């Protein structure tokens, strides 16, 4: 093993191979290449076309600039700074106080943890505000696309797979049709929002959701209700936004409305589980546990359904829309498989039916049933509404043959009733 503890400098086309260790105020310039089990420490600086491969590790005050590429199982820890056209690929990991700036790219499999700060043109290509990008595309007459997806239930793996599906389908928006996993009164719930936001930023996608019966929407309103964005969405994270019940907005000339809420068929089981968790927590408290976890409204949420009064008020504006997004199905749609047909489910389905009749959408997309189907509602005045029910994440799916694609629907904008359904690959 070679080791240089002083202040060496390799200008030009330096190549370091094998079990190289660089410590102290090392500077690698020009077309420097580190391969094998290279380790950098102290105030190491890589500039120009530096490439690190294999089991590269950067620690301490390492700085990378130019078109640096880290591949393989690279680990960056401490006060690492990546600037310029840095690329992290494969199993690259950034931890602790890493700072990324410039045109940094994290490719498939790269992970970030700790207090990573991102600045400059982060992610794929020049980093720009998503809304500004969309406005630009509209101005140039380009179509946009939204990947609609069914219930995620806080399943991080499926949420990230959905973001990737959005990218594959050239969608800059992902819209979750309820049961998103809005549980920010728990540590896991907050972490889930962070992970989804990070993936959305990395992939330059904005993730929107409406509330399902398994979302704590009252908390979303309390935390983020004060400052909605220009379209009325509540900004939960930079790229995670919530559509309150009754919200109307227009994307690429297509008029949308969102109405969340549904009845939980397993409400009694959920309340019993919460009570059990509460009893266990109290018992742990009696034995000296200092931290009592949140148990109330972790599995069942009193705000799960729209009320009639809420529905009446939201329909005071009866302006028609092109696309209606809901969590629950309308009463009259008839999927071939439906386990949410108890009498208690019907009042909310009646409300959704009323919304459809009033707003006369050409297309309605919903989740909740965890089942992919298409139906058509024919209204008495001759108007027709195509209903697309979407599947859920794999853990919530009760069907024997699961296909991720059943939970996704790529909506090309502007939407017209003649816009074809786009089959999304798994």
Each residue 245-274 as x (binds Fe ion by CB under 5 A) or -, in order, gives -----------------x------------
Strand order in the sheet with 363-366: 247-251, 254-259, 323-326, 363-366, 384-389, 373-378
- Residues 216, 219, 220, CA angle at the centre, nearest 5°? 90
H or E element: which one contains 255?
strand 254-259
Phi and psi at 366, nearest 5°, equal -145, 165
Is position 368 an interface residue for Fe ion (rule: CB under 5 A)? Answer: yes
**Closer residue to Fe ion in complex, CB, 213/298:** 213
Record the tokens describing residue 411, joined without a space: 């909506």
Minimum CB–partner distance for residue 327 and Fe ion (Å): 6
Q: Pick out residues in 85-124 that bind Fe ion (CB under 5 A).
A: none
**Closer residue to Fe ion in complex, CB, 94/207:** 207
Minimum CB–partner distance for residue 397 and Fe ion (Å): 10
Is position 66 an interface residue for Fe ion (rule: CB under 5 A)? Answer: no
Is position 150 an interface residue for Fe ion (rule: CB under 5 A)? Answer: no
**Closer residue to Fe ion in complex, CB, 265/281:** 265
Q: Looking at 63-71, 111-119, 143-151, 197-205, which segment touches Fe ion (CB under 5 A)?
A: 143-151
Is position 184 an interface residue for Fe ion (rule: CB under 5 A)? Answer: no
Distance CA 397, CA 370 (A): 6
**Closer residue to Fe ion in complex, CB, 64/213:** 213
Is position 151 an interface residue for Fe ion (rule: CB under 5 A)? Answer: yes
Distance CA 277, CA 186 (A): 14
What DSSP character marks residue 293?
A: P
Each residue 200-219 as x (binds Fe ion by CB under 5 A) or -, in order, gives ------------xx------
Phi and psi at 363, nearest 5°, equal -135, 135
Minimum CB–partner distance for residue 249 and Fe ion (Å): 23
From candidates 103, 172, 179, 393, binder to Fe ion by CB under 5 A: 179
Output the furthest CA–CA distance in the chain (Å, rounded): 85
Minimum CB–partner distance for residue 243 and Fe ion (Å): 16
Q: Determine contact, residues 17/36, Cβ cutoff 8 Å.
A: yes
Q: Looking at 144-152, 154-162, 354-362, 378-386, which segment touches Fe ion (CB under 5 A)?
A: 144-152
Minimum CB–partner distance for residue 340 and Fe ion (Å): 8
Minimum CB–partner distance for residue 152 and Fe ion (Å): 9
Distance CA 44, CA 27 (A): 6
Q: Which residues contact 420 (CB under 8 A, 6 or more apart)?
A: none
Name residue, tokens 């009323």: 354
Minimum CB–partner distance for residue 351 and Fe ion (Å): 15
Q: Looking at 53-61, 220-228, 243-251, 366-374, which segment touches Fe ion (CB under 5 A)?
A: 366-374
List, in sequence order, every beta strand (DSSP E) within 180-243: 206-209, 234-237, 240-242
**Closer residue to Fe ion in complex, CB, 103/151:** 151
Q: Pick out residues in 323-362 that bind Fe ion (CB under 5 A).
A: none
Q: Looking at 137-145, 150-158, 228-236, 411-419, which segment touches Fe ion (CB under 5 A)?
A: 150-158
**Closer residue to Fe ion in complex, CB, 246/260:** 260
State the number of binding residues for Fe ion (CB under 5 A): 6
Record the tokens describing residue 118, joined without a space: 């991102």
Minimum CB–partner distance for residue 265 and Fe ion (Å): 9
What DSSP character marks residue 154?
A: T
Name residue, tokens 């009570």: 275
Q: How far is CA 407 from the centre of its chain?
A: 14
Minimum CB–partner distance for residue 236 and Fe ion (Å): 19
Q: Which residues contact 333 (CB under 8 A, 6 or more apart)?
A: 373, 375, 377, 387, 389
Minimum CB–partner distance for residue 212 and Fe ion (Å): 4
Q: Determine contact, residues 328/349, Cβ cutoff 8 Å.
A: yes
Q: Looking at 55-63, 173-181, 243-251, 341-349, which segment touches Fe ion (CB under 5 A)?
A: 173-181
Name residue, tokens 């629950």: 328
Runs of H (alpha helix) within 225-345: 267-286, 308-314
In the complex, the residues that contact Fe ion under the rule CB under 5 A are 151, 179, 212-213, 262, 368
């Amino acid at each position: 093993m070679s080791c240089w503890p002083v202040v060496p400098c390799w200008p030009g086309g330096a190549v370091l191979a094998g079990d190289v260790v660089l410590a102290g105020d090392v500077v690698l310039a020009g077309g420097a290449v580190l391969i094998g089990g290279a380790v950098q420490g102290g105030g190491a600086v890589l500039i120009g076309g530096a490439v690190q491969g294999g089991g590269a590790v950067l620690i301490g005050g390492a700085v990378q600039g130019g078109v640096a590429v880290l591949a393989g199982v690279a680990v960056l820890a401490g006060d690492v700074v990546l600037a310029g056209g840095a690329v992290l690929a494969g199993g690259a990991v950034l931890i602790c106080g890493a700072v990324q700036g410039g045109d940094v790219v994290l490719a498939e499999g790269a992970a970030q943890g700790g207090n990573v700060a991102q600045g400059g043109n982060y992610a794929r290509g020049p980093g720009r505000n998503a809304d500004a990008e969309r406005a630009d595309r509209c101005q140039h007459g380009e179509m946009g696309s939204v990947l609609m997806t069914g219930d995620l239930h806080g399943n991080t793996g499926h949420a990230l797979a959905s973001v990737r599906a959005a990218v594959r389908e050239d969608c800059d928006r992902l819209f979750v049709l309820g049961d998103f996993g809005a549980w920010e009164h728990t540590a896991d719930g907050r972490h889930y929002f962070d992970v989804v936001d990070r993936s959305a930023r990395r992939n330059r996608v904005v993730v929107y959701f409406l509330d399902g019966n398994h979302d704590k929407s009252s908390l979303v309103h309390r935390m983020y209700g004060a400052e909605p964005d220009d379209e009325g969405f509540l900004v939960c994270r930079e790229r995670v936004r919530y559509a309150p019940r009754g919200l109307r907005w227009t994307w690429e000339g297509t008029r949308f409305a969102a109405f969340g809420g549904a009845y939980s068929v397993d409400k009694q089981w959920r309340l019993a589980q919460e009570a059990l968790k509460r009893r266990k927590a109290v018992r742990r408290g009696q034995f000296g546990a200092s931290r009592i976890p949140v148990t109330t409204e972790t599995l069942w949420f009193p705000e799960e359904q729209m009320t009639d009064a809420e529905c009446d008020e939201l329909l005071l504006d009866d302006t028609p829309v092109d696309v209606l997004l809901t969590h629950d199905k309308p009463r009259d749609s008839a999927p071939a498989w439906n386990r949410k047909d108890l009498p208690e489910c019907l009042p909310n389905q009646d409300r959704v039916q009323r919304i459809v009749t009033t707003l006369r959408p050409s297309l309605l997309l919903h989740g909740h049933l965890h089942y992919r189907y298409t139906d058509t509602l024919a209204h008495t005045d001759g108007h027709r509404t195509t209903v697309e029910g979407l599947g859920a994440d794999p853990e919530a799916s009760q069907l024997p043959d699961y296909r991720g694609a059943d939970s996704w629907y790529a909506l090309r904008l502007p939407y017209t009733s003649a816009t074809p359904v786009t089959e999304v690959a798994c």
